[in-house]
Amino acid sequence: MISIKSEREINLMREAGMMVSKTHKYLKPFIKEGITTKELDKIAEDYIRSMNGVPTCKGYEGFPAALCTSVNDTVVHGIPGNYKLKNGDIITIDMVIGYKGYQGDAAWTYAVGDISDDKKYLMEHTEKALYEGIKMVKPGNRIGDISASVYKYAKEHNLGVVKELCGHGIGTEMHEAPDVPNYGTFNTGPRLKEGMVICIEPMLNFGSSKVYLMDDEWTVKTMDKSPAAHYEHTVLVTKDGYEILTPRLV
Ligand code: MF3
Ligand code: CO
């Protein structure tokens, strides 16, 4: 069952989403050579709590931190730790914030200092793949329209699509129905209706797109060690289209 949010719920999700956007903006100047991912996590958690938000990832199925910090060949769910960012790294910051019981979720990838042209290409086109998916969001369209659009764009730009992980519905829970895969077939899957809220989140890389799970049971890396990028927005289905609940402020 895909829940339809009331006007009251949508307003709370807007607030939760805005907290996610603000936390990304607040963190950005700290994403520099020399800072550890654990320090970034602490800065984010303190800021989230200062807004009376809840860092939903912390404690979620045992995840130990407020942020997922995924550097270079880490695709998702990197655990903040003692790694110090280096010039030329890319890092995806993914976070979920709860506010009055409702969740907002957004990830995007940041450059640390000067990055290679390949990494720039990967970041640019992963974000554009996300927007290709978002453009399909309107009542009457189907989840498969989003999935197929993301996949088509990625393939046209010679990028690999991670298939093991996907987007999701969101509301009082971080993960609700439906699944929103990053590959699929146009005109298939559940139909979108006004008041649904979903997270669309392509994870793209160069090369084979195969991934593996590390022994910590969280960190997902590319098999061939190629860098990965990941962009995610929380998106509301409106009367005639969509509204991004986690707008980019930076
Ligand atoms: N944004 C991530 C997702 O869409 C958050 C999960 S991280 C976890 O799945 F640690 F909380 F699991
Ligand atoms: Co998500």
2 within some domain: no
pLDDT digits (tens, 9 = 90+) for 96-146: 999 999 999 999 999 999 999 999 999 999 999 999 999 999 999 999 999
**Residue 242 burial (CB < 10 Å; 0-12/13-18/19+)?**
buried
Distance 209 CA to ligand 1 centre (A): 20
Ligand 1 atom with the shortest distance to the CA of 56: 11
The span from the CA of 94 to the CA of 40, in Å, is 12
pLDDT digits (tens, 9 = 90+) for 10-49: 999 999 999 999 999 999 999 999 999 999 999 999 999 9
pLDDT score at 94: 99
pLDDT score at 209: 85
pLDDT score at 208: 77
The span from the CA of 220 to the CA of 213, in Å, is 5
Q: How many CA atoms lie within 13 A of 204 on its CB side?
A: 33
226 within some domain: yes
Whether 96 is in the pocket of ligand 1, judged by its Cβ within 6 Å, is yes
Whether 230 is in the pocket of ligand 1, judged by its Cβ within 6 Å, is no
150 within some domain: yes
Ligand 1 atom with the shortest distance to the CA of 68: 7
Ligand 1 atom with the shortest distance to the CA of 77: 7
User: Which ligand approaches the C-alpha of residue 95 most closely?
Assistant: 1
pLDDT digits (tens, 9 = 90+) for 163-215: 999 999 999 999 999 999 999 999 999 999 999 999 999 999 997 789 999 99
202 within some domain: yes
Number of independent structural domains in the chain: 1
pLDDT score at 244: 99
pLDDT score at 59: 98
**Residue 216 burial (CB < 10 Å; 0-12/13-18/19+)?**
exposed
Ligand 1 atom with the shortest distance to the CA of 105: 1
Phi, psi at 208, each rounded to 5°: -75, -25
Mean pLDDT of the chain: 98
Cβ-Cβ contacts under 8 Å for 177 (sequence gap 6 or more) = 1, 2, 3, 168, 169
pLDDT score at 89: 99
Whether 203 is in the pocket of ligand 1, judged by its Cβ within 6 Å, is no
pLDDT score at 63: 98
Cβ-Cβ contacts under 8 Å for 29 (sequence gap 6 or more) = none
Whether 57 is in the pocket of ligand 1, judged by its Cβ within 6 Å, is yes
29 within some domain: yes
Residue 137: CATH number of its domain: 3.90.230.10
Rounded to an integer, the average pLDDT of 73-87 is 98
Distance 95 CA to ligand 1 centre (A): 7
118 within some domain: yes
Q: Whose CA is nearest to atom 8 of ligand 1?
A: 57
Q: Whose CA is nearest to atom 7 of ligand 1?
A: 57
Distance 218 CA to ligand 1 centre (A): 10
Is the pLDDT at 152 greater than 80, yes or no? yes
Q: Whose CA is nearest to atom 4 of ligand 1?
A: 167
pLDDT score at 24: 98
The token pair that represents 170 in the structure block: 């969101």
Q: How many CA atoms lie within 13 A of 156 on its CB side?
A: 11
Distance 47 CA to ligand 2 centre (A): 20
Is the pTM for the entire model greater than 0.85? Answer: yes
The span from the CA of 218 to the CA of 130, in Å, is 23
Look at the chain and count its residues: 250
pLDDT band of residue 64 (cuts 50, 70, 90) is very high
Which residue range(s) make up the domain with 160? Answer: 7-244
173 within some domain: yes
- Peptide bond preceding 178 in cis form (omega within 30 of 0): yes
Distance 206 CA to ligand 2 centre (A): 22
User: Which ligand approaches the C-alpha of residue 59 most closely?
Assistant: 1
65 within some domain: yes
The span from the CA of 77 to the CA of 13, in Å, is 23
pLDDT score at 87: 98
pLDDT score at 207: 75
